[in-house]
Amino acid sequence: MLAKLEKKLEEIDQQQLLSFWNQLNENERKTLQHDIESLDTDRIIKLRKILSEKDKQENLYQPGNFKPADVDTLPKTAQEKEKRRAAFRIGEKAIKEGTVGAILVAGGQGTRLGFHGPKGVFPVGPVTDKSLYQYFLERLLALERRYSTRIPLYVMTSEKNHHETKEFFLEHDYFGKERNSVVFFQQGMLPTFDENGKIFLEEKYKISKAPDGHGGLLNALKENTLFEDMKNRGLENLFYFQVDNILVQICDPAFIGMHLQKDADLSAKTVYKSDPFEKLGNIGIINDTYVTVEYTELSEEEKKARDQEGKLVFGQGSIAVHVFSRKFLQRFASDELELPYHIAHKKIIHIDDGGKKIEPDKPNGYKLEQFIFDTFPIAERVVVMETERDKDFSPIKNAEGTDSPQTARQHLNNYFGSWLDRAGYELERDQEGNVQHQIEVSPLYALDEEEFISKIPKDLQIKDKMIFE
């Protein structure tokens, strides 16, 4: 058996993975054997080629060749408002008919947040410490009740958090959602490489691997025969969201409606950037196709460019909320279409040649990832719809500061506070307009402002902490 492993590794120039074989016990050998056997030789060869040619990689984006997307901006006139209302009604109809499902990508490692456990388990409710998962599931359940329908949810996890995620759902009885309407599946893992293209060991008996990016969704759907599952459930369009955005309006009917009106392959939501350097992807057009240019790539000049009205030319930032048509996604099930791999230079914990565990303080190797927005160039019909940041976007990325749990809680307080404003109550605010009360409204109590106002108790007292559930 050892000879077989050696031969395989020789083919891909990775013999170092067996360096500590003689020191391993039987179980450890089994683990390493399994890891080596599951390496896809062709893929490793391909990934190493990508790494070795990384300096030659041609960038599609060049300053000057990128044009802003055609965006359906926030409605201002009565006519524009009516257009969104009409889209809303179309979206509602599709939800009612049961042709809309949801995909939640939650396989990331959440390194910046530094929370031990899947990010979706993170407590974020300002009053109850409700988790991100509970919030999302309650919203789906509330939609199902409102429209007397079923909205299947596909949750993508990774080897790093699959078990804990499923356990959390089980422990909470799927937050009331019907079990067979939630499908968990794991994305792929790719080995991490050192700067010479050698695969790292995480332990003497274990290959170092990382999730293959949110674009790994396509392979994972294919491998788990989930396109068939979607088809069997009658799903034609899938609302895509990420686990870190607490404000995301899951299955927003207006967004789904716009997507349907254009019979789009994919749709994307954007917000107008808070400043020219906000770290959001830029959706635009290069050579007649839609692409996302990452904030790290866009030239400083183009970041700052303004039009005649003083608005940023590339001011629309992607919030990674999409609708995909199932048929469009399914095109990636064929072997001919594959998303590109992006290379990230990272600090990778590993075992060195002498068998010592190294925790580097500067980047020492590479992770490869696929990104979901690389599906854009293949799409023929695309909708880009601007949304209001304070109603749709508050990501939790960092442990502190911007895009952190603190900002997310404040945004929830402000969001629910705006409902109380509309209902005619006076709230305390700081100089920046942040609501000073802790307010939490379960989606099961009210999905939106209108429902909230219709239910609000007549004798409501404004307090420091308020909960509606």
By CB under 6 A, which span of 53-61, 81-89, 239-247, 305-313 interacts with ligand UTP? 239-247
By CB under 6 A, which span of 212-220, 274-282, 342-350, 441-449 interacts with ligand UTP? 212-220
Cα of 230 vs its chain's centroid, Å:
20
Closer residue to ligand UTP (CB): 227 or 373? 373
CB of 372 to ligand UTP, least distance (A): 8
Q: Which of 100, 102, 105, 187 is nearest to 147 (CA)?
A: 100
Closer residue to ligand UTP (CB): 403 or 449? 403
221-255: buried (b, 16+ CB within 10 Å) or exposed (e) per residue? bbebebbebbeeeebbbbbbbbbbbbbbbbbbbbb
Structure tokens at 162: 């699959």
CB of 263 to ligand UTP, least distance (A): 27
Closer residue to ligand UTP (CB): 278 or 451? 278
In whole angstroms, give the CA distance from residue 208 to residue 358. 13
Residues 6+ apart with CB under 8 A from 188: 211, 212, 216, 219, 220, 223
Cross-strand bridge partners of residue 237: 100, 325
Structure tokens at 83: 């257009």
C-alpha separations of 174 from 1, 139, 141, 165, 181 in Å: 44, 13, 10, 11, 10
Closer residue to ligand UTP (CB): 18 or 189? 189
Assess contact for 147 and 95: CB atoms under 8 A: yes
Q: Does 242 bind ligand UTP (CB under 6 A)?
A: yes
In whole angstroms, give the CA distance from residue 298 to residue 304. 10
CB of 259 to ligand UTP, least distance (A): 21
Q: Does 397 bind ligand UTP (CB under 6 A)?
A: yes
Of 127, 230, 238, 243, the one binding ligand UTP by CB under 6 A: 243
By CB under 6 A, which span of 93-101, 144-152, 205-213, 409-417 interacts with ligand UTP? 205-213
20-39 residues in contact with ligand UTP (CB under 6 A) are: none
Residues 6+ apart with CB under 8 A from 337: 331, 378
Of 138, 244, 265, 440, the one binding ligand UTP by CB under 6 A: 244
294-333 residues in contact with ligand UTP (CB under 6 A) are: none
Hey, is 194 helix, strand or coil? strand
Q: How many degrees, rounded to 5, is the angle at CA 238 between CA 232 and CA 240?
A: 140
Closer residue to ligand UTP (CB): 136 or 175? 136
Closer residue to ligand UTP (CB): 45 or 399? 399
The site map against ligand UTP for 334-373 (x = CB under 6 A) is -----------------------------------x----
172-191 residues in contact with ligand UTP (CB under 6 A) are: 187
Q: Does 211 bind ligand UTP (CB under 6 A)?
A: yes
CB of 247 to ligand UTP, least distance (A): 14
In whole angstroms, give the CA distance from residue 376 to residue 146. 32
Task: Specify the DSSP class assigned to residue 395.
Answer: B
Closer residue to ligand UTP (CB): 98 or 216? 216
CB of 307 to ligand UTP, least distance (A): 30
86-145 residues in contact with ligand UTP (CB under 6 A) are: 105-112, 119
**One-letter identity of residue 441:** V
List contacts with ligand UTP (CB under 6 A): 105-112, 119, 156, 187, 211-214, 216, 242-244, 369, 397
